Structure 1
Amino acid sequence: MAFEEDLDAALTRAFEQATQLYQRNGFQRRVGFGRRPALINVDLANAWTRPGNPFTCEKIDDQIIPGVQALLAACRRNGHPVVHVTTCYQVTDETKAATDMGLWHHKIPIEVVDQAKPELWAIDSRIEPVAGEQVLIKKRASAFHGTYLAGFLRANNVDTILVTGVTASACVRTTLCDGLAEGFRTIAVKECIGDRVPGAVAWNLFDIDAKFADVEPLERCIAYLDEVGGKSKAAA
């Protein structure tokens, strides 16, 4: 606990100095909210949300799951698209030419997320998808890389993506970076993004906010989902 408090204090000092540098050089601009949002939940599957796995993340039970539940409720009552993203592999034997793991297994133990073990890569039952919501399987860090996500969003006239999930340093970050590159307004929901090691969330969200997305609090995101939902219904 003392270590984490010291780390938080050190990061706060670093962020204060970095903010001055960034703002002096024109960083930390706002991309803003658009009119048609979608919610993208990244890797909130059992291998990441339940204890005892190599990918298990912190603050899942007390912060991330409740926050995502609130976002899902807002999307469902307003009819906004929802995409649940998970990761698994058909061939986890790296000696096989047909493996779909690429080279990522040389860095992290992705072989544990075997497609033959759906209990690991299934979306956490506390935020279980309902009829009409997409469940997208990815093979790389970004939810956009090699998937139909961008096409699905464009077909639904989405201009803004609210991104939650894990991890801040990898799959969430790359999804936000690619989302902006694909032409979507990118919003990182602050309380609904996690990681495994102290400091990873704070540092990555600070840096993401400077370069690739707007980091917005959960309450603001819920209010936005209700606001544009109400406008869409009135227009219809």
Structure 2
Amino acid sequence: MAEMDNKELDKMLQAAFDASSKLYQERGFQRRVGFGKRPALVSVDLANAWTRPGNPFTCDQEKMDNEIIPSMQRLLKAFRAQNLPVVHVTTAYEITDRDAPFTDMGLWHNKIPVDVVDLADKDLWAIDSRIAPVEGEYTLLKKRASSFHGTELAGILRANDVDTILVTGVTACACVRQTICDGIADGFRPIAVREAIGDRVPGAVAWNLFDIDAKFGDVKSTDECVAYIDGLAGVAAAAE
């Protein structure tokens, strides 16, 4: 029944997207930001608390295991082959007592259970072992939804001449979306990798990717992104 409901939801969403695309295009939306010259992979919250079962933040496990992780593995292979920047983003808090007079959770714990992601429990916020960082890759710890808000991310990317961010991870409706919105605001070209983005709620990925593609970044398939990365080797060779 759930599968049938999801299929019906997908049909309804696609019909809405088709109608909205016509309106958007008539009004000048859905323009292309395009790939730039030097990309970085920004992987948002693909840590155990989100990728593995049994946690409040656990995302759709079928999509995680069959689409997101395999897509990430392909992207990581391509980025590593070209020695391009990779940033693994995770979230955790040092003061998780909701009654504490001071906490690094800010006010967010009044909306969602961020208090469960305790910095002391590394297994929760560690990047999933299937896509674990290797030497030369950076793990960034954030406290808010966006990977940019209050972090060093923009400065690191600029210092490494990055102009394009390929964004993956979870969730489509929150941390991924906020990262993409802040990314374009900070002057980077955001590319959302379709198969490598997930959520907990049916329809959330499809809706947010449609809206992102209309307003904040380009949505591209894993195949398109890997082809772009692989093509950079030819460009570099021609420039020598």
Normalising by structure 1, report the TM-score.
0.98
The alpha-carbon deviation at position 5 of structure 1 amounts to 1.0
Give the equivalent residue in structure 2 for 1:57: 59
Selected match of 2:28 from 26, 29, 32 = 26
Q: Does residue 1:176 correspond to 2:187, yes or no?
A: no
User: How many corresponding residue pairs?
Assistant: 236
Write the letter of the residue equivalent to 1:38: A
Aligned match for 2:209, one of 205, 209, 220: 205
Could you tell me the percent identity over the aligned residues? 66
Which residue in the other structure is 2:152 paired with? 148
Measure the CA separation in 2 of the matches of 1:98 and 1:133: 32
Q: Aligned partners of 2:77, 2:91: CA distance in 1, in Å?
A: 24
Which residue number corresponds to residue 134 of structure 2?
130
SS across alignment from 1:38: strand
Of residues 91, 97, 111 in structure 2, which corresponds to 1:107? 111
2:8 aligned partner, one-letter code? D
CA contact (8 A) 1:78 1:230 kept: no
Q: CA RMSD in A?
A: 0.9
Equivalent in 154, 159, 178 of residue 163 of structure 2: 159
- SS of the counterpart of 1:223? helix
Secondary structure, aligned partner of 1:188: strand
Q: Name the residue aligned to 1:117.
A: 121
Deviation at 1:229, TM superposition (A): 3.2
Offset from partner CA, 1:22-61 (integer Å, 9 cap, x none): 1111100000000000000000000000011111111111
Distance 1:94 1:142 in 2: 22
Correspondence for 2:9 among 7, 10, 31: 7
Q: CA deviation at 1:88?
A: 0.1
Residue 93 to residue 75, structure 1, CA distance change in 2 (3 Å): same
1:83-111 C-alpha deviation (Å, 9 max, x unpaired): 00000000001222330001111111000
Q: What secondary structure, in the 3-state scheme, does the structure 2 residue paired with 1:99 have?
A: coil
Question: 4+ runs of 1 displaced by more than 6 Å?
Answer: none
Match of 1:86 in 2: 90
Q: Kindly indicate whether residue 233 of structure 2 is the aligned counterpart of residue 229 of structure 1.
A: yes
Q: Distance in 2 between matches of 1:28 and 1:12?
A: 16
* 1:234 positional shift: 4.6
CA contact (8 A) 1:80 1:229 kept: no
Residue deviations 1:144-203, cap 9 Å, x none?
Answer: 000000000000000000000000000000000000000001100000000001100000
**What one-letter code is carried by the residue in structure 2 that aligns with 1:167?**
T
Deviation at 1:2, TM superposition (A): 1.2
The aligned counterpart of 2:192 is 188
Letter in 1 for 2:58: T
Partner of 1:218: 222
Is 1:16 the counterpart of 2:18? The answer is yes
Say which is worse superposed, 52-61 or 224-233, in terms of deviation.
Answer: 224-233
Shift of 1:214: 0.1
User: What's the TM-score, normalizing by structure 2?
Assistant: 0.97
